[in-house]
């Protein structure tokens, strides 16, 4: 059904506020979006993810503010992506922290990284998932480190990080 119809229905019934407001998203702790519009589509809410079985959340676990979901009354189709950071407290959501931890764990599995390489990787991972002045430098350093590895390690890093990196960073690295 046309999302505009539901936006108007819910706006008219007082469930949502005017056009520049956002709905609340429901996302599992691993970052799978289960519902980008919990107010408009409450029947689609699930206590656990149907992709991985992890618990779903609608609020930041640090500050308890709602996770921003679908933008109400948009006149175009777009694909909702789980946010990386809370817009209220600035901390990463659990799925970002898990991805960064998994990347560091993978780095520990290779014999090709010494302690200095792991330190550089750790420092750069945080800048890869943020849009900062250091993001491009971090992407170059990351690529320089990772492309020394065997192909299965490169694929492992790509599998872990691809969905949390921006499109320009992905194009630069992979």
pLDDT tens for 41-53 read: 999 999 999 999 9
Give the pLDDT band (50/70/90) at residue 12: low
Mean pLDDT: which of 12-16, 48-52, 77-81, 167-171 is highest? 48-52
* pLDDT tens, residue by residue, 117-155: 999 999 999 999 988 999 999 999 999 999 999 999 999
Strands laid side by side in the 33-35 sheet? 33-35, 26-28, 56-57
**pTM, rounded to two decimals:** 0.80
Distance CA 27, CA 58 (A): 7
Boundaries of every domain in the chain: 3-71, 94-173
CA dist 74 and 95 (Å) reads: 27
3-state secondary structure of 69: strand
């Amino acid at each position: 059904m046309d999302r505009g119809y539901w936006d108007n229905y819910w706006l008219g019934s007082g469930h949502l506020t005017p056009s520049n407001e956002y709905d609340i998203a429901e996302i599992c702790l691993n970052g799978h979006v289960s519902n980008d519009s919990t107010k408009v589509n409450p029947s689609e809410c699930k206590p656990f993810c149907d992709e991985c079985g992890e618990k779903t959340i609608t609020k930041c676990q640090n500050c308890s503010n709602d996770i921003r979901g679908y933008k109400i009354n948009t006149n175009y189709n777009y694909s909702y992506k789980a946010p990386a950071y809370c817009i209220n407290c600035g901390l990463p959501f659990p799925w970002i922290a898990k991805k960064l931890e998994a990347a560091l764990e993978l780095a520990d599995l290779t014999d090709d990284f010494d302690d200095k390489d792991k330190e550089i990787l750790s420092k750069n991972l945080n800048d890869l998932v943020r849009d900062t002045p250091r993001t491009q430098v971090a992407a170059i350093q990351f690529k320089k480190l990772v492309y020394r590895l065997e192909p299965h390690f490169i694929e492992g890093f790509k599998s872990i990080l691809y969905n949390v990196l921006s499109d320009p960073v992905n194009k630069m690295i992979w």
